[in-house]
């Protein structure tokens, strides 16, 4: 077949050939020539192979642990189909200089990875990654979320959602002492968080703070002129804002000079920083609020948690059917959920809106409970624990303009087979089918842990446990690691044991141990964040390669 | 299959139609065999192709058409049985043997068959040739696929592009 005649082979005939090929040959065909590549992409022929529609494991960030994003999964002999082993995971990323690096978000196979000063988008299945341009603002004022749907587009977006403004406390900020001297020093600063002010367009007459914004912006443009030593100082200030301030914050009770206190929340419109892989830059996008305000900033703000409080995290986001749902909390705890609607409409800048939905639990319960927003079989789920063992799960029902949470499960884990999993671990010290994938430098050890390679965890049948009573003095702190993205199963951690709990059948599966080998198991530590991971084998991070 | 009003094929001798290749060779073939082609089926149902008329096929040369008709004649009885639900295992094995033999051909002929099967919409033949090509390139690298199918060697630019796209699906080559 000559090249010119080859191009004459009709698309349908070519597609008939491609449809009979295994994925690796199909991927090879995609490289053969432009016409073939265009056809394979246009018809999405690689999609079924690239999106195996499977849960591969869970990425976990531990509190006070140097290695971020440990992968808890059933190990596999192969890295094909997005199964990851050991250092393959994130080890190929450039060494980070910051200590606050962690996995920040996961969306349909892409990870957002980084810290307050740098962000990477990573596809662990293809080991491709991309470093985003410098953040447009003080990242400590934001949480970053990823939006990606490979079935629709290979492009992704990263949203910086501002935190609800917390009450002023004494925060150490960098202030320029003298414009000419180029010297900076740390100042005990009680000024409002300026980046917040910039990103939330309040209808406020507080002109004083607006003026301050402009000067701050002017300063920030000069940040490039920092000397290395002052950079380091600034990093500490951002990362540990209350290290020195905490002693004085308890006495800081006055409301009189809090400029945000009586502002409407959420604001009538909000401007969000968005990185688009199409334009390759950060841009501002404004969203108009749909529906009524919840109250004032003061109403929704919770001051009971100190800044240092690290986890578990309660601000997850779900991307579902074109909308980004962000669990939005003041400080670390709050009762509202954001919807930034019509993601793909937003791409064309048509009618960008957002609205606030109250979570099904009240503020007080939100303060004490552990809640989790996630995606599972039927959409957006919200789960919370109270009284240690009561797990309640709601699903968001959005039919006919009526958005409400429907309570699906009300489970008392105290009388469940969960205890069998703990006994299994305590008494027999056996390893589960899943392991925590740690640094594999001492691979002998790991090999001992995993005698045989497993290929696929059977989410229905593996290691199902029978019911066992809880011992009288037994106690377990239960943490929700996440929802199974395709089945009504929750992943729990109880006393550093990973467990899968089937919401409909109450079936319990023992997964494996969840403590890193060199982790100090003092009570204040544990899992900070966890992200169930579904691989996406589509290449390209929109065409950018390392 | 319902015979058209003008048809005379249901009594005794099967109805015949005439197909005319691009180089003006006339092929007389049973209507049932020619009707494996979705393209021809309608014309034949309308009573075309009979007598001295013939159906012209300007896209198919005589060598290819004779090959195509060889396939159709072999497969027509099974197709007439509605996908051959009551075909014996022997019959099916025989057809399979025939198919394997049938596509064991020169690449240029295979290419002509792909085009003819597509133009004439002969479903079974389309599958057969697609499977043959798929088997030829299965497990091969992009370069090997190009060579197997007789593409000219890539220019340096094309080569660079191929390498770049190889990276995108790194997982597939492991």
Annotated domain spans of chain A: 3-45, 57-165+266-543, 171-246+255-260
- What is the band of A74 on the pLDDT scale with cuts at 50, 70, 90? confident
Query: Are residues B111 and A5, on separate chains, in Cβ contact within 8 Å?
Result: yes
- From chain B, pick out residues whose CB is under 8 angstroms from the CB of A31: 142, 162, 165-166
Q: Which 113-132 residues of chain B touch chain A by CB within 8 A?
A: 114-115, 117-118, 126-127, 130-131
Rounded to the nearest angstrom, the gap between the alpha carbon of residue B44 and the centroid of all alpha carbons in its chain is 19
- What is the band of A430 on the pLDDT scale with cuts at 50, 70, 90? low
B52 touches chain A (CB under 8 A): no
Query: Are residues A21 and B134, on separate chains, in Cβ contact within 8 Å?
Result: yes
Share of chain B above pLDDT 70, in %: 82
**Tokens at B139, concatenated:** 């497990």
> In chain B, what's the furthest Cα-to-Cα distance?
65
What's the Rg (C-alpha) of chain A?
A: 25
For residues A169 and A247, the model is more confident at A169
Query: Are residues A1 and B115, on separate chains, in Cβ contact within 8 Å?
Result: no
Question: Mind listing the pLDDT tens digit for each residue in A130-140?
Answer: 889 988 766 66
Question: Mind listing the pLDDT tens digit for each residue in A471-524?
Answer: 766 777 888 999 999 899 999 998 888 889 999 988 888 888 888 877 876 656
Cα-Cα-Cα-Cα torsion A174, A178, A181, A182, nearest 10 degrees, comes to: 30
- From chain A, pick out residues whose CB is under 8 angstroms from the CB of B121: none
Residues in chain A whose Cβ is within 8 Å of chain B:
1-3, 5-6, 8-10, 12-13, 16-34, 37, 46, 49, 78-82, 125-128, 537, 539-540, 545
Q: By CA distance, what is A540's nearest residue in B?
A: B168
Nearest residue, CB atoms, B134 vs list A6, A9, A17: A17
Which of the following CATH numbers is that of domain B16-138: 3.30.710.10, 3.40.50.720, 3.50.30.60, 3.40.1360.10?
3.30.710.10
Residue A486 DSSP code? S
Query: Are residues A127 and B140, on separate chains, in Cβ contact within 8 Å?
Result: no
Domain ranges for chain B, please list them.
16-138, 141-174
Query: Are residues A20 and B131, on separate chains, in Cβ contact within 8 Å?
Result: yes
Residue A433 DSSP code? S
Q: By CA distance, what is B130's nearest residue in A?
A: A17
* Ramachandran region, residue B171 (left: φ > 0; alpha: ψ -120 to 50; beta: rest): alpha
Q: By CA distance, what is A12's nearest residue in B?
A: B118
Query: Are residues A13 and B139, on separate chains, in Cβ contact within 8 Å?
Result: no
Nearest residue, CB atoms, B130 vs list A20, A30, A128: A20
CA distances from A32 to A16, A334, A366, B161 (A): 17, 53, 56, 9
Distance of alpha carbon A423 from alpha carbon A354, whole angstroms: 47
How many other CB atoms are there within 10 angstroms of residue B53's CB atom? 12
Query: Are residues A1 and B137, on separate chains, in Cβ contact within 8 Å?
Result: no
From A9's Cα to the closest Cα of chain B, the distance in A is 7
- From chain B, pick out residues whose CB is under 8 angstroms from the CB of A125: 171
**Tokens at A191, concatenated:** 């000024």
- φ, ψ at A71 (rounded to 5°): -110, 120
Query: Are residues B171 and A81, on separate chains, in Cβ contact within 8 Å?
Result: yes
Nearest residue, CB atoms, B151 vs list A6, A46, A125: A6
- From chain A, pick out residues whose CB is under 8 angstroms from the CB of B105: none
Q: By CA distance, what is B165's nearest residue in A?
A: A31
Query: Are residues A10 and B118, on separate chains, in Cβ contact within 8 Å?
Result: yes
Mean pLDDT of chain B: 83
ipTM of the complex as predicted: 0.87
Cβ pairs bridging A and B (under 8 Å): 115
Mean pLDDT of chain A: 67
**Tokens at A244, concatenated:** 């020195």
SS3 A203: coil
Total-model pTM: 0.63
- Evaluate whether A504 touches A408 at the Cβ level (below 8 Å): no
**Tokens at A334, concatenated:** 């709050």
Rounded average pLDDT over A154-173: 63
Question: Mind listing the pLDDT tens digit for each residue in B58-105?
Answer: 989 999 999 999 999 999 888 776 655 566 777 888 889 999 999 999
The position carrying tokens 């009538």 is A268
The position carrying tokens 């190929």 is A92
Which of the following CATH numbers is that of domain A57-165+266-543: 2.130.10, 3.40.120, 3.40.50, 2.40.50?
2.130.10
H helices present in A328-380, as ranges: 343-347, 363-368
Rounded average pLDDT over A169-185: 37
Nearest residue, CB atoms, A20 vs list B107, B134, B169: B134
Nearest to A497 by CA among A518, A479, A513, A519: A513
| Side-chain half-sphere exposure of A344, counting CA atoms within 13 A | 11
Q: What is the DSSP string of B39-102?
A: HHHHHHHTTTT-TTT-EE-TT--HHHHHHHHHHHHHHHHHHHTSS-TT--HHHHHHHHHHHHHH
Nearest residue, CB atoms, B142 vs list A28, A539, A545: A28
Distance of alpha carbon B158 from alpha carbon B127, whole angstroms: 30
| Side-chain half-sphere exposure of B10, counting CA atoms within 13 A | 7
Query: Are residues A9 and B172, on separate chains, in Cβ contact within 8 Å?
Result: no
Nearest residue, CB atoms, A79 vs list B151, B166, B174: B174
Rounded average pLDDT over A320-349: 52
B153 touches chain A (CB under 8 A): no
B174 touches chain A (CB under 8 A): yes
∠B20-B25-B29 over CA atoms, to 5°?
Answer: 60
Question: Mind listing the pLDDT tens digit for each residue in A230-246?
Answer: 222 222 222 222 323 33
- Evaluate whether A513 touches A428 at the Cβ level (below 8 Å): no
């Amino acid at each position: 077949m000559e090249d010119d005649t080859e191009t004459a082979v009709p698309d349908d005939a070519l597609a008939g050939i491609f449809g009979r090929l295994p994925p690796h040959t199909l991927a090879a065909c995609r490289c053969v020539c432009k016409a073939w590549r265009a056809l394979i992409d246009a018809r999405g022929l690689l999609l079924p192979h690239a999106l195996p529609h499977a849960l591969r494991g869970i990425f976990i960030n531990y509190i006070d642990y140097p290695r971020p994003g440990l992968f808890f999964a059933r190990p596999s002999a192969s890295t094909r189909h997005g199964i990851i082993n050991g250092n393959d995971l994130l080890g190929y990323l450039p060494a980070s200089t910051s200590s606050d690096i962690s996995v920040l978000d996961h969306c349909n196979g892409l990870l957002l990875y980084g810290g307050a000063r740098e962000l990477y988008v990573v596809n662990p299945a293809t080991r491709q990654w991309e470093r985003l341009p410098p953040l447009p603002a003080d990242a400590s004022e934001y949480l970053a979320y990823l939006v990606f749907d490979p079935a629709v587009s290979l492009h992704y977006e990263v949203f910086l959602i501002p935190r609800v403004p917390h009450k002023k406390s004494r925060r150490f900020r960098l202030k320029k002492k003298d414009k000419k001297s180029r010297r900076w020093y740390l100042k005990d600063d009680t000024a409002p968080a300026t980046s917040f002010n910039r990103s939330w367009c309040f209808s406020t007459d507080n002109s004083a703070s607006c003026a301050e914004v402009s000067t701050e912006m002017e300063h920030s443009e000069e940040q490039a002129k920092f000397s290395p030593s002052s950079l380091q100082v600034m990093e500490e200030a951002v990362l540990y804002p209350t290290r020195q301030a905490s002693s004085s914050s308890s006495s800081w009770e006055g409301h009189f000079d809090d400029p945000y206190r009586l502002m409407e929340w959420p604001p009538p419109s909000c401007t969000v920083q968005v990185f688009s892989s199409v334009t390759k830059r950060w841009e501002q996008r404004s969203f108009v609020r749909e529906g009524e305000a919840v109250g004032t900033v003061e109403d929704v703000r919770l001051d009971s948690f100190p800044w240092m409080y690290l986890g578990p995290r309660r601000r997850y986001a779900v991307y579902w059917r074109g909308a980004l749902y962000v669990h939005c909390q003041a400080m670390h705890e709050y009762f509202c959920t954001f919807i930034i609607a019509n993601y793909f409409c937003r791409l064309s800048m048509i009618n960008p809106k957002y609205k606030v939905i109250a979570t099904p639990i009240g503020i007080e319960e939100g303060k004490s409970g552990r809640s989790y927003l996630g995606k599972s079989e039927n959409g957006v789920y919200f789960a919370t624990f109270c009284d240690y063992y009561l797990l309640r799960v709601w699903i968001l029902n959005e039919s006919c303009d009526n958005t409400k949470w429907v309570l699906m499960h009300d489970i008392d884990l105290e009388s469940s087979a969960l205890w069998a999993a703990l006994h299994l671990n305590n008494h027999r010290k056996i390893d589960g089918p899943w392991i925590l994938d740690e640094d594999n430098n001492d691979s002998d050890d790991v090999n001992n842990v995993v005698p045989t390679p497993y290929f696929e965890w059977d989410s229905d049948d593996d290691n199902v446990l029978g019911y066992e009573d809880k011992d009288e003095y037994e106690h377990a702190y239960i943490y929700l690691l996440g929802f199974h993205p395709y089945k009504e199963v929750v992943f729990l951690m109880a006393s550093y044991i990973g467990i899968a709990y089937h919401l409909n059948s109450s079936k319990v599966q023992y997964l494996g141990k969840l403590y890193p080998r060199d982790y100090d198991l003092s009570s204040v530590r544990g899992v900070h964040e966890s992200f169930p991971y579904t691989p996406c084998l589509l290449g390209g991070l929109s065409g950018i390669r390392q | 299959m319902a015979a058209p009003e003008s048809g005379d094929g249901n009594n005794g001798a099967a109805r015949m139609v005439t197909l005319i290749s691009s180089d003006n060779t006339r092929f007389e073939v049973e209507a049932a065999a020619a009707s494996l082609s979705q393209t021809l089926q309608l014309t034949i149902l309308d009573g075309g192709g009979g007598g001295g008329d013939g159906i012209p096929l300007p896209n198919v040369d005589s060598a290819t058409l004779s090959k195509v008709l060889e396939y159709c004649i072999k497969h027509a009885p099974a197709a007439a049985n509605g996908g051959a639900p009551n075909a014996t295992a022997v019959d099916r094995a025989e057809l399979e043997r025939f198919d394997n033999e049938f596509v064991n051909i020169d690449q240029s002929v295979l290419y002509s068959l792909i085009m003819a099967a597509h133009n004439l919409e002969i479903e079974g033949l389309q599958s057969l040739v697609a499977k043959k090509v798929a088997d030829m390139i299965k497990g091969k690298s992009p370069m090997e696929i190009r060579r197997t199918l007789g593409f000219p060697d890539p220019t340096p630019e094309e080569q660079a592009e191929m390498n770049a796209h190889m990276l995108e699906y790194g997982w597939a080559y492991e």
